[in-house]
Chain A
Amino acid sequence: MSGRAGIVIVGASLAGLRGAEALRRGGYEGPLTLVGDEPYRPYDRPPLSKHVLAGELAADATALPQLLPLRARWRLGSPATGLDRNAKIVRLADGSSLAYDTLLVATGARARRWPGEAEFAGIFTIRGRDEAADLRAALARDPRSVLIVGGGLIGCEAASCCRDLGLPVTLVDPNPTPLARALGTLVGGTLAARMRAAGVDLRPGTQVRALEGEAGQVCRARLADGGSIAADLVIVALGAVRDTGWLSEGGLAADAGGLTCDGACRALTRMGVPDPNIFAAGDVARWPNPLYGGRLIAVEHWGNAVEQAAHAARNMLNPADPQPYAHLPAFWSSQFGLNIKMVGLADGADSVAIVQGSRAAGRFLAVYGREGRTIAAVSFDEARWLPAYAERIAAGAAFPPIHDATDQPAIETRPPGFPPPRPFPASRGRVPEAAHA
């Protein structure tokens, strides 16, 4: 590990930063370089679709705290453009190249853009802080009506902010409810009701076919069901595409769905063998998760970026003793006055049960089962018991895992209502198997 080139981390955001810190904490003293596409020091993304859009926090006030001195070289604003595994170098956009002994790939993902040909003003995505700042500025200029394309986490959070700002909002999603892929339609239906009560014009079960503009400014969306919606501001929230383009020449198993790793966070080559010198962590990584039967999963959540980066760092420093990464995915979201928290992956569930509280009261905890085992749980304003359920999901407990709880309704098991997998209409190429997209 103590070669002269040292460790290079590509992607200077959450996973990159926390990985670097874990390396130093783990006793690594050699050279350390962080390469970042964006010109900024690492910052936090979750506030971008929440406090920043709401105007409560400036986009440039989201810097991530650095938890210990890194003694690192920062190459910000110069994206990596290529990888040569034989020479063990990373090429940068400014024409220079960087040698590495060990490489950590942490290039995350970027927002999927609107694929239409026409480019109009007034169409936004949210991934980086510049995008969030631009969108915030546009929202502050009092658009007449906002259209949100996509009812995933970011689309829903954006809708919530827009309603708080008093803006008319329409949200279009091909599924029967928002968050249908992450939560199923039974639970998603609760959110739909909440959104409608907050004044969102929710259009489920249809999709935007085309965006039209006038004088270079977007003005209307045409829907697949024949209708149209007037909108002078459009937020495209169609999920993320993994940033793996720069790896295409490197012979690694990488595509828009991520960089495939083995269980120990080591990148796999196209031949399916791990490259002992290349690791990956965060949104970009796709790995076989032992908690889900070794299925390849990619997780786009904050907690995973932190934990996986630390795990990869640990394995980088102990190449003789690689440990498998058995992460229980988890995320939170705040929208429409709700605190939503989830542990585990619910897609693939065959049943769901409300085990605490009630949907009618708007406060509940639902667990998901598959073939008699508990695989996930979600809470709406009822997060305090979630740790107990997380423990049971990790242990593969029977479904439903907890009987006889206080304030437990008669447990009733129902189909969760996951939409059948189908290729996203607007996208070409394969849809990544992600925790939520």
Chain B
Amino acid sequence: MPEDALFAEVLDPGNRADPYPIYARLRRTPVARQRDGAYVVSTHAAIRSLLFDPRLSSEDLPPSRRPRTGNPLKDWLLNPIRNRVANAHRPLIFRDPPEHDTLRGFVMSEFTIARVNGLHGRVAALVDGLIEACRGRDTVCLVDDLSYPLPVAVICDLLGVPEQDEPQFHAWATRLATALEPDARRDEEARRETVATFDAIADYMRALIRRKRRQPGDDMLSGLARRDRPGMGEVDLIATAVLLLVAGHETTVNLITNGMLTLLRHPDELGRLRADPERAPQVIEELLRYEPPVHFRTRKALGDIAVAGTTIPKGAPIVLLFAAGNRDPERFPEPDRFDPDRTDIQHFGFGGGLHYCVGAPLARIEAEIALVALCRRLRDPRLLADPPPYRPGASLRGPENLGIRIGGIL
């Protein structure tokens, strides 16, 4: 396989179960130009250096273009207006400083440690209920039974979405799940569905925000909707709320599912975690390195950038291949070994630099509680298929489902 086609291999769903050998080949050229002009960055040092380079832009999406509806009024009048609004108010993960910082500042001021820690009990209760619901069965379909429903319920709680609206949210979350995938905008039919879902969720949010403004609760949306936030208008607020839903959903699903998959492949580690739940933080950190839920993110070069012996030209798309950096032998001894006892573990599981994940503390809590409960309560768990089937996404990579045969619920 020629060097400049390796990233196409990464994108090929056939390689989803084990992309790591391709990553190892990519790392031979820390910054590798691909045929389509994109530059794939795969060593720990080069990724790190670029994460702290101010010439990387996250505003790399093509301008949004709503698909045709067939209705001329909508297509010629409404769509261009809505496109302009959407482009000007992208969610902060697709924004550069200084607007990014303003928006992120507001989110951080509401994403307090106290608020996240306050969710502990709720997460534990949810996990308990979801596992309890599997009682009497001899197989668990981990994604459907637990990984998927948990994060949406938690984010609804965090944002303050009323309980009766949660099922609706689940449906939207499912349809938006792949919205952050880099190639999510290719297929016209998928785009139509995504746009329709965004519209629906935006309408819902607009109404919810109005209610929160009239009757503020102690939830995050009420906090974000306070009127003393210059730089965060209603459209930004909606974009932010939707981002929190989307960014915290599929990622957390993957972390829990990858986590259980990895533990089932390393039964000694599963046993250790069962015996000693205090190990959970270490296990999660190593998971974020070893099987991260987000394999890469894309950027655009605003200038010519010389890094690791290559000059990335101005305007070129850049792929930061986090999952390859996480397995860089120059940075981690025995990188392909799953070893929660590592002490030096600076992974890119949550990215790094400017766009470092704001939800990291919450994701850690969810994954810790879920994995510890699964290890302790599933009797004799065994994988039904290894490797399991994967969803097609190469960036938000994770199993479609994970069948686990069990001897009962403890």
Contacts and interface: CB of A to CB of B under 8 A. Distances in A.
Interface of A: 356-357, 361, 384-385, 387-388, 391, 402-408
Nearest to B59: A406
Contacts of A387: 49, 52
A384 B304 CA distance: 20
B90 to A, nearest CB: 14
A408 B57 CA distance: 12
Interface in B122-136: none
A406 B96 CA distance: 6
Nearest to A358: B98
B55 A405 contact: yes
Contacts of A385: 52-54
B407 interface: no
Contacts of A388: 49, 52-54
A407 B353 CA distance: 15
B54 A403 contact: no
B52 A402 contact: no
A356 B54 contact: yes
Interface of B: 49, 52-57, 96-98, 302-304, 314, 353-354
Contact of A408 (B49, B52, B54, B56): B54
Contact of A384 (B302, B314, B354): B354
A361 B304 CA distance: 28
A404 B314 contact: yes
A404 B96 contact: no
A408 B54 CA distance: 9
B54 A406 contact: yes
Contact of A407 (B98, B304, B314): B98
Nearest to B54: A405
Given A357-B98, A384-B353, A384-B354, A404 B52 contact: no
Contacts of B49: 387-388, 391
A406 B55 contact: yes
Contacts of B354: 384
Contacts of B54: 356, 385, 388, 402, 405-408
Nearest to B304: A404
Given A356-B97, A385-B52, A406-B54, 6 more contacts: A357-B98, A388-B53, A404-B55, A404-B302, A407-B54, A407-B96
Nearest to B354: A384
A222 to B, nearest CB: 47
Contact of A402 (B55, B57, B314): B55
Nearest to A356: B54
A171 B153 CA distance: 56
A406 B52 contact: no
A113 B176 CA distance: 67
B299 to A, nearest CB: 10
13 contacts: A361-B98, A384-B52, A384-B354, A388-B49, A388-B52, A388-B53, A402-B303, A406-B54, A406-B96, A406-B302, A407-B97, A407-B98, A408-B54
A328 to B, nearest CB: 15
B82 to A, nearest CB: 26
B335 to A, nearest CB: 23
A407 B58 CA distance: 12
Given A384-B354, A385-B52, A404 B303 contact: yes
Contacts of B53: 385, 388, 402
A406 B57 contact: yes
Contacts of B96: 406-407
A405 B52 contact: no
Nearest to A406: B96
A72 B246 CA distance: 55
Contacts of A407: 54, 96-98
A406 B98 CA distance: 8
B48 to A, nearest CB: 9
A361 B52 CA distance: 22
A404 B56 CA distance: 9
Contacts of A384: 52, 353-354
A403 B49 CA distance: 16
Contacts of A403: 55, 303
A388 B314 CA distance: 17
B109 to A, nearest CB: 16
A406 B97 contact: yes
A387 B53 CA distance: 8
Nearest to A385: B54
Contacts of B314: 404
B344 to A, nearest CB: 14
Contacts of B304: 404
Nearest to A403: B303
Of A356, A387, A402, A404, most B-chain CB atoms within 10 Å:
A404
A7 to B, nearest CB: 28
A403 B98 CA distance: 16
A227 B303 CA distance: 54
A352 to B, nearest CB: 17
B98 A405 contact: no
A89 B389 CA distance: 73
A204 B134 CA distance: 74
Contacts of B52: 384-385, 387-388
Nearest to B52: A387
Contacts of A402: 53-55, 303
Contacts of B97: 356, 406-407
Nearest to A386: B52
Contacts of B57: 406
Residue of A356, A361, A405 most packed against chain B (CB within 10 A): A405
A176 to B, nearest CB: 30
A21 to B, nearest CB: 16
A361 B55 CA distance: 21
Contacts of A361: 98
Contacts of A356: 54, 97
A407 B95 CA distance: 11
Contacts of A357: 98
A291 to B, nearest CB: 19
A361 B98 CA distance: 11
A388 B303 CA distance: 14
A391 to B, nearest CB: 7
A33 B303 CA distance: 54
A402 B314 CA distance: 12
Nearest to B303: A404
The 10 closest A-B pairs by CB, nearest first: A404-B303, A405-B54, A406-B96, A407-B97, A404-B302, A387-B52, A385-B54, A407-B98, A388-B53, A388-B52
